[in-house]
Amino acid sequence: MEMVAVNKIRFSKRVTQFIFIPMKIKALYIFLFVLLFSCKPDDTIIEENRKFYMGVTPWPANFTSQDLEKAYDFINTKCDIVSHHFDEGIPYEEAYHNLEMPVALQQEINSRLSKTNSNLKVLLSVAALNLTRKEKADYYRNSTVESSIKASWNNKTFSNPEIITAYTNYLEYLINNFQPDYINFGVESNNPEFIATDFTEYKIFLAQVYQNLKSNHPNIPCFISYMVSESNGGFVNATELLPYTDIIGLSAYPYISISSSINGNTNPDLFPANYFEKYIFMANKPFCFAETSYIAENLVISSYNLNKQGTTIWQDNYLKTILNLSQNKNAVFLIWFCSKDYDDGNLFLQQQGLYTDLFGLWQDTGLIDENNNKRLSYYTWENWFKKEKTE
């Protein structure tokens, strides 16, 4: 039986994709349809080639097979790259000893492969850090190995040769299955809150893993991604990791913390100058948007002191900003987090007692809203996707 991704690690950002759980007014409708249609931009295809690939993750709007199918339908018809993101921990014991991988992981991989068109480019993203992005990833949550074995691996430091071997073997297992065109082996690696000694350990880890990957796959671009922010510490950490990346990967959700939104106004026209360029030009290397998105509705989460204003227009303007930036600065690809809002998914988690406020940060960032209405950003995406992709 197929499983629908539910891992709260990636839902917490990158509250990424995860272990799949099986699950199972007419006037108003016309008004909304007419309103949406009247705002639809001109469908004329601009005769200009597109220099970068466009894609999303398979994160569904709800934990049902139907919603998962809709997520893949968008991928297979509106994308030329798919982001397979693994952020649910590492099966260290199984990987280190080359044992059979957990059944849940095998099922997830088979599901992803069976639902993805074979002509798409593939980005494989794997998080070596847990959701704090300043500590080693925990043990893969659905592994059946004994708790004492899990504990022993969780207690090992990043620079431990066994950790490096286990992580490399895990990457090789995923690479063998997905045959990726790009590998992000260090999702969001520049947290400014890293303890200095731990960051030193992490650099040793990344250096060795990078060397292993380039030795085994010299023709595949291997990179780490950076959280884009105005933090000087985050930028310094990013520069220290440049020797271990072929691409400068950007992970950007500016509406949460950018200084221009301190009073709640998330209009991207107010972004600080060179917000993205500072990272893009860190080194003479290509760049990509490894993951990004933007709210189209208000974001109010009192536990995080968040009261941000979101509109469909601002979301669309943000998308246009990064699309033009990707075109003008020769990005390799651009990954939007999810194609549709996941209000229903969060409601399900609440009913199961699994919800935390962190899950709400990216709920309303879809190109399609929770009522299946296509937003302005959907048509912007569609028109850009229609452009011929040049090599």
Return the bridge partners of 129, or none: 136
Percent of the chain with pLDDT over 70: 88
Calpha distance 66→294 (Å, rounded): 25
pLDDT score recorded for residue 75:
98
Residue pair 80/53 in contact by the 8 Å Cβ criterion: yes
Dihedral over alpha carbons 180, 181, 187, 188 (to 10 degrees): -170
DSSP-derived 3-state class of residue 370: coil
What is the model's pTM?
Answer: 0.87
Confidence of residue 3 (pLDDT cuts 50, 70, 90): very low
Residue pair 55/117 in contact by the 8 Å Cβ criterion: no
5, pLDDT greater than 60: no
7, pLDDT greater than 80: no
Confidence of residue 369 (pLDDT cuts 50, 70, 90): very high
- Pick the more confident residue, 25 or 166: 166
18, pLDDT greater than 50: no
- pLDDT, average across residues 285-311: 97
Calpha distance 284→319 (Å, rounded): 25
9, pLDDT greater than 70: no
138, pLDDT greater than 90: yes
Calpha distance 294→296 (Å, rounded): 7
Residue pair 346/303 in contact by the 8 Å Cβ criterion: no
- pLDDT, average across residues 338-350: 95
* Matching residue, tokens 């303007």: 317
387, pLDDT greater than 50: yes
Calpha distance 178→2 (Å, rounded): 18
- pLDDT, average across residues 250-257: 97
Average pLDDT, the chain: 89
- Pick the more confident residue, 282 or 141: 282
